[in-house]
Amino acid sequence: MTSPTPRGFALALAGTVAALALAGCGDDETSSVSDDPSPSKEASSATAPTEEASSPPDDASPSESASTEKATVPLYFVGDSPQGPRLFREFRQVPADNPLVEAAALLTAGDTLDTDYRTLLPSGSLGEIALDDDQGMIVISLGDDTYTQRPAGMSARDARLAVQSIVYTLQGATQTRNPLQAVAGDDATPTTLLGIDTSGGVKAAKQLDVLGLVNVTSPEEGETVNDTFTAVGLASSFEATVPWQIRQAGPDGTVVLDGFATAEGWIDRLYPWETDVDVSGLEPGEYSFVALTDDPSGGEGFGPTEDSKTITIE
């Protein structure tokens, strides 16, 4: 098994896009790779993690400098949706000397910015993680038995979703579509991951099977905005219409401003959307920015998916 040096890998990451718009997980443990083989574009800044691309953009790159030695990676956490638990993404900066292990550590710890998100993974370290160029795999060398079997109380569906959260995160961090394989022992024998066979490699599945159907990339949770800000994200919403709202903080969540964005598509996967939001007429204070999917069923279907970010208006 071969892998780049940590420093070389970090520098390679710095020359590529920030993260991958990875597919979701279906019911198959080794489902097919997403039918979107290349990153789709979402407007963003290549230098600011808070304005990154959601799929990601073709022209963005991880934020890293020689002084800070940080790399920007996507983390796929779990959030609630009308379809049940789904994956929602946050971009985070991690030390650039070993971004795969650092990203996995945040993921297993459930270290989310958005309190609506969580992890399904057991606590503890996954172990060493590397690209195996010979096999075309992302290989996790499990340090112990914590992750080989499905924990008591975890459903098979949750186990598949938990494994897919690892697949998406590591594929995004490596900028590959390489399947994931877990190995154990001195001879690096392929083994199970949360009870799921990885000997053939676990691939990322289709986006519509696992991702939340709308995801806000910017603004980030807790961001301060003023006058007009640009909101960006991903969605698969009826006729590419992505409604948005500004809600007052508090349990009532009164809508004080609304509008809509238009995504680049909607039927087969999630597509980037972007819109300018003018909040100059609102009083300073804490609010929520909420993006939703359009619900043409009038409430007879699943209902709209939404993703919200707490913001402060100056």
pLDDT by position in tens, the chain (length 314): 433 433 333 333 333 333 333 333 333 333 333 333 233 334 332 222 222 333 333 333 444 444 469 999 999 999 999 999 999 999 999 999 999 999 999 999 999 999 999 999 999 899 999 999 899 999 999 988 899 999 999 999 999 999 999 999 999 999 999 999 999 999 999 999 999 999 999 999 999 999 999 999 999 999 999 999 999 999 999 999 999 999 999 888 999 999 999 999 999 999 999 999 999 999 999 999 999 999 887 766 788 999 999 999 99
The verdict on 153 and 292 lying in the same domain is: no
Residues 256, 232 within the same domain: yes
* Distance from chain centroid for Cα 251: 27
The CA-based diameter of the chain, rounded to the nearest angstrom, is 64
CB-CB contact of 17 with 60 (8 Å): yes
Q: Does 250 share its domain with 223?
A: yes
**Total structural domains in the chain?**
2
CATH classification at residue 266 = 2.60.40.10
The CA-atom distances, in angstroms, between 265 and each of 40, 290, 293 are: 11, 20, 13
Residues 205 and 262 in one domain: no
CB count within 10 Å of CB 81 equals 21
1 part of a folded domain? no
Question: Does the residue 289 lie in any domain?
Answer: yes
- Domain end: 161, 187, 210, which one? 210
| 245 shares a domain with 120 | no
Domain that holds residue 278: 214-313
Claim to verify: residue 284 and residue 202 sit in the same structural domain: no
Which residue, 218, 202, 214, 203, is CA-closest to 269?
214
